[in-house]
Amino acid sequence: MIDLTGLDTRPAQTWGSMRLVPLVRREPIEDLRLNAKVYGDEPSTVFLPDKTVYTSYVPHAFVASWTDDGSPAAAYGTQLGQPLRHMCIRTRRRMARRVDKNRLRFLPLHLAVEGFLALHFGGPVIAWEEWSRQAIAHGLSARAEDAYTGAEVRGLDDALKVFEIYPGQCGLLLYAGDTLASAFVVPHPEDYRALHPTLIRDLYGELVYEYALFYPARDFPAVIDETTVSSLADLRAQALLREREWADFHDSVMAARLLQAPVHVEEVYRLGRFTLSRFLPAFERKSENHIGETITDGDGRLAYLKTFRLSEAQSRRGHLLSKLAEHDWSLPATAAALGTDAAALGMRLKRAGFGHLLRQDVLDGYRKAVNGRNPRTRRGGGTSPPA
């Protein structure tokens, strides 16, 4: 589970469909600091561990600085708001790269998205007869998923501009139409003030984009019983009580699924006493599924967190791939575990975008079997278009 111990929830602020919930750290982490490094509009080439290469637009990276003895570390300089130098292309050797002894550059959310794209990327582990030659030889290559930048999410830019940053704030939970879109936590309040504007450059899922367009944020009024107030001290006590009630409701109801999200955790890099990791969810159907990345200390205390909420289609693809891998990519065994048959599972794979992994004759047979059980009928028997 994601442990938010040491981070306190403060009252939310809303703007249109956006709800921003501040997270305040009781004791800032002094020996790990984050700063932003902003790139231009050029593409960057990323080299993956398996020697494959992909080119991506990288709007900004984070640079983590830490000390070995636990002494305070100052945030390194940032290019935010400054004129940027431009180059034709930048080559990056890996997602997380050490730039000197105590500084690591990594691409926010790219670590998490790379982990999702690499999910069971090798394809079938046994050459079952249903799989195509391409699936056996090349696995799931090449996979692609859609995402939106923060600049495309309606109302986010304005919400970040009018957002009031709390004293000691080290994080933010972002909601669109009261649907949790993203979580962001940093070690120190100064880091958050520097990195707050970078939320507009982050990646957000399709569901977040749609909810920001169509669903307003609900109102959660704090009602104080006036019969209990006879002095300023009473009013202050009631205000603090309502603030605690909001925090309890938010943490136990609104953010509950995020806090239980990680199922598969992969360690990416060691930063002194800290560990940079990425995680994947259980890919439960009709439920929240968040991927993300964390930096934790030796006691498991959260220093950094950034998450991305998967859409229903992305969760469905992750669910199918996980079930196939769990049953050694045997279609009959996977279908039995899902309570269906191989033909129906084959058509689900096609609808999810994995139809090219099956042999064409097998896929055609599955299609005929499914259509035979569910024949399509025409109303009125007519086929002519309307005049």
| Residue 200 or residue 376, greater confidence | 200
Q: Which of 7, 278, 309 is nearest to 183 (CA)?
A: 309
Mean pLDDT value across residues 230-242: 85
Distance (Å) of CA 184 to CA 152, 191, 358, 378: 19, 12, 40, 52
pLDDT value for 84: 35
pLDDT of residue 91 exceeding 70: no
Q: How far is CA 9 from the centre of its chain?
A: 20
Q: Name the range with the highest mean pLDDT among 30-44, 93-107, 343-357.
A: 343-357
Tell me, what's the pLDDT at 346?
94
Report pLDDT for 258.
78
Contact status, residue 111 vs residue 278, Cβ threshold 8 Å: yes
For the residues 309-332, what does the mean pLDDT come to?
93
CA proximity to 279, closest of 298, 240, 305, 250: 305
pLDDT at 332: 94
> For the residues 367-373, what does the mean pLDDT come to?
87
Q: Tell me what pLDDT residue 4 has.
A: 83
**pLDDT interval class at 76 (50, 70, 90):** very low
Query: What ranges in the chain are assigned the alpha helix state H?
Result: 110-117, 133-138, 156-162, 189-195, 206-214, 232-249, 256-259, 312-326, 331-337, 342-349, 360-373
| pLDDT tier, 49 (very low <50, low <70, confident <90, very high otherwise) | low
Tell me the average pLDDT across 139-166. 87
Give the whole-angstrom CA distance, residue 100 versus residue 355: 45
Residue 78: the pLDDT is 37
Contact of 295 with 279, CB cutoff 8 Å: no
Residue 58 has pLDDT above 60, yes or no: no
Write down the pLDDT at residue 98: 62
Task: Work out the number of other CB atoms within 10 angstroms of the CB of residue 76.
Answer: 15
Task: Name the amino acid, one letter, at 292.
Answer: G
Per-residue pLDDT, averaged over 337-355, amounts to 93
Residue 139 has pLDDT above 80, yes or no: yes
Lowest average pLDDT, out of 30-39, 107-116, 176-185, 243-252, goes to 30-39
Confidence tier at 66 by pLDDT (50, 70, 90): low
Residue 169 pLDDT > 90: yes
Residues 6+ apart with CB under 8 A from 296: 274, 275, 277, 302, 303
- The pLDDT, as a whole number, for residue 52 is 61
More reliable by pLDDT, 59 or 269: 269
For all residues of the chain together, what is the average pLDDT?
A: 80
pLDDT of residue 250: 78
Residue among 262, 302, 301, 295 at smallest CA distance from 276: 295
- Which pLDDT band, with edges at 50, 70 and 90, does 376 fall under? low
Integer Cα distance of 265 and 132 in angstroms: 31
DSSP state of 358: B
342-349 and 360-373 helices, crossing angle to 10°: 110
Predicted pLDDT of residue 341: 93
Split at pLDDT 50, 70, 90, the class of 46 is low
SS3 letters for 126-164? Answer: CCCCCECHHHHHHCCCCCCCCCEEHHHCCCHHHHHHHCC
β-pairing, 7-9 with 18-25? antiparallel
Interval 6-27: pLDDT, tens: 899 988 888 888 889 999 998 9
